[in-house]
């Protein structure tokens, strides 16, 4: 039987070589990697994998007899089942938050409440909130014009504003569902979605605080001037700062699409936990009916669908003269979401066939001080993949495929939540020229490549390392098992 580490190496060479050298689309590279790894996996490895998963004799025989294409397609389908609807709805929410002006209202309201002197806190908070339902690149596109407008008023703080936006949005992008990375990792490790949201927010607060402290230090050390960029000249920024706010929806309505799914999903988790302590009452018909309603509304697919509906209605209500734009906006959002679903599902297929090689068990054998050492191991594997190929989401998908087997059997000694969060923090290292987000930050802000590396890239590395340390402490103090 081929050592699973060799199969892992082959798979990584195919995926990373395809993306970096051959310039293949991530979907094609991941699919090709999955097909090659699956074709090299022996029947003995599949039987061992089936035994670890406690499959029946019939299920084991079906797995061993299935073709390479069937096993890859099954992994693709399982992943799409878990995250397909969620990503589609998250794309709709993000699009209509932008088009309705809701996201801009959130940013401006926080600046108004905190004051211009605390504008960096407003950017940090806004990025943290918007990074949950909206992808990082989109959050940065949204907030950067306001960051530039504020930079006109306080030019010495422009670099601080840019780093605050990045610090706020980048961690929720990798730690808090419904963004694809943490959503996928939580599903693969069977982490309760409400728990993943809560854990991601808690760890995110620590990492964002560390990132902000670095941003304050870096802004004093390196002054970043505000420059003309392809989309906005410095001369145009004054008018942007004085834009009429009457066209923006109210704050409570703007926040609703973000807060509602969090409340529904978290409420379902809390209700189910509380109900377990009330066994006699749970047998009555009215209780069972209430439990069914809460269970359905708190299902992530339903919660995100409701939130998407609220986001669409917000746009329709606040922009009566632009209702004809709803259909094109939906088409645009679903096209963008569909591409992400393809890439994520292909990553799931790649991770699935890697698990069938027995890589999880093999890495367990190599890990020393097993109880906690698995967390830095997960962090390091994700960081290596991220640094090599650039995408935080693809790094998380690849890492959970390699390490997913570690979460089974209750042998970790702590809740798999911490493994999922360690993978998320590892995806922050290291943002450089092969990362699309690096270029978004660099070109939209007007910073040079060197400025971006020593400010935002270094800050994200600090945030990731601090996150790992916090996770290790939490896993030791609150194992949740």
pLDDT tens digits along 218-258: 999 988 887 766 545 566 555 544 556 777 888 888 888 88
pLDDT at 369: 45
Q: Is the pLDDT of residue 366 over 70?
A: no
Q: Is the pTM of this model over 0.75?
A: no
In this structure, is the dihedral angle defined by the CA atoms of residues 212, 397, 266 and 138, taken in order, positive or negative?
A: positive
Contact 172, 467 (CB under 8 A): no
Give mean pLDDT, residues 335-358: 81
DSSP-based helix, strand, coil % in the chain, nearest 5: 80, 0, 20
* 8 Å CB contact between 120 and 157: yes
Which range, 24-38, 151-165, 266-280, 466-480, is most confident? 466-480
Report long-range pairs for 290-296 (Cβ below 8 Å, ≥24 apart).
294/267, 294/268, 295/268
Residues 410-441: tens digit of each pLDDT: 567 788 899 999 999 999 988 876 676 777 78
| Euclidean distance between CA atoms 76 and 145, whole angstroms | 38
How far apart, in whole angstroms, are the C-alpha atoms of residue 8 and residue 12?
Answer: 6
Look at 273 and 231; give whichever has higher pLDDT: 273
Distances 361 to 4, 5, 385 between C-alpha atoms, Å: 9, 11, 20
Number of H helices, E strands in the chain: 23, 0
In angstroms, rounded to a whole number, what is the distance separating the alpha carbons of residues 100 and 317? Answer: 9
Phi and psi angles of residue 67, each rounded to the nearest 5 degrees, phi first: -80, 170
Range of the structural domain that residue 221 is part of? 4-477
Q: Which residue has the tokens 């986001």?
A: 311
Percent of the chain with pLDDT over 70: 87
- Predicted local distance difference test score (pLDDT) of residue 423: 94
Contact assessment for residue 120 and residue 166, using Cβ atoms and an 8 Å cutoff: no
User: Measured between alpha carbons, how far is 451 from 221 in angstroms, rounded to an integer?
Assistant: 11
Give the integer Cα–Cα distance in Å for 326 and 8: 45
Q: Closest Cα to residue 218, out of 464, 453, 465?
A: 453
In the chain, the number of structural domains is 1
Could you tell me if 362 and 4 are in contact, meaning their C-beta atoms sit under 8 angstroms apart?
A: yes
What sections of 276-369 are H helices per DSSP? 285-297, 300-318, 326-356, 359-366
């Amino acid at each position: 039987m081929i050592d699973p580490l060799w199969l892992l190496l082959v798979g990584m060479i195919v995926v990373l070589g395809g993306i970096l050298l051959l310039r293949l689309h991530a979907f094609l590279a991941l699919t090709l990697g999955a097909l090659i790894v699956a074709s090299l996996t022996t029947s003995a490895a599949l039987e061992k994998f089936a035994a670890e998963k406690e499959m029946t004799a019939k299920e084991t025989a079906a797995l061993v007899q299935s073709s390479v294409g069937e096993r890859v397609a099954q992994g693709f389908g399982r992943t799409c089942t878990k995250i397909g609807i969620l990503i589609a709805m998250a794309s709709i929410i993000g699009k209509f938050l932008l088009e309705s002006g809701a996201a801009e209202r959130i940013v401006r309201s926080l600046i108004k409440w905190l004051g211009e002197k605390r504008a960096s806190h407003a950017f940090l908070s806004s990025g943290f909130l918007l990074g949950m339902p909206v992808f990082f690149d989109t959050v940065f596109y949204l907030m950067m014009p306001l960051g530039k407008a504020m930079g006109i008023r306080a030019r010495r703080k422009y670099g601080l504003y840019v780093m605050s936006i990045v610090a706020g949005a980048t961690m929720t992008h990798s730690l808090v569902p419904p963004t694809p990375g943490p959503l996928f990792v939580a599903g693969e490790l069977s982490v309760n979605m409400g728990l993943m949201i809560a854990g991601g927010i808690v760890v995110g607060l620590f990492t964002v605080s560390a990132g902000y402290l670095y941003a304050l230090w870096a802004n004093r050390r390196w002054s970043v001037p505000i420059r003309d960029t392809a989309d906005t000249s410095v001369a145009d920024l004054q008018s942007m700062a004085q834009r009429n706010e009457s066209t923006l929806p109210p704050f409570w309505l703007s926040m609703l699409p973000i807060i509602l799914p969090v409340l529904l999903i978290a409420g379902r988790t809390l209700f189910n936990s509380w109900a377990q302590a009330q066994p006699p009452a749970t047998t009555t018909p009215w209780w069972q009916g209430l439990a069914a309603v809460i269970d359905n509304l708190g299902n992530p697919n339903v919660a995100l669908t409701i939130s998407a509906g609220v986001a669409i209605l917000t746009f329709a209500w606040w922009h009566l003269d632009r209702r004809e734009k709803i259909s094109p906006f939906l088409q645009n959002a679903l096209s963008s979401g569909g591409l992400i679903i393809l890439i994520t599902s292909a990553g799931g297929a790649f991770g699935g066939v890697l698990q069938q090689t027995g890589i999880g068990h093999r890495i367990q054998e190599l890990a020393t001080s097993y109880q906690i050492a698995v967390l830095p191991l997960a962090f390091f594997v994700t960081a290596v993949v991220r640094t090599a190929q650039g995408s935080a989401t693809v790094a998380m998908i690849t890492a959970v495929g390699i390490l997913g087997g570690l979460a089974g059997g209750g042998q970790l000694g702590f809740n798999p939540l911490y493994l999922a969060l360690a993978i998320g923090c590892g995806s922050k290292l290291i943002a450089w020229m092969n990362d699309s987000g690096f270029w978004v930050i660099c070109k939209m802000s007007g910073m040079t490549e060197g400025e971006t590396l020593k400010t935002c890239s270094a800050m994200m590395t600090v945030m990731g390392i601090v996150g790992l340390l916090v996770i290790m402490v939490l896993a030791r103090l609150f194992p949740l098992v």
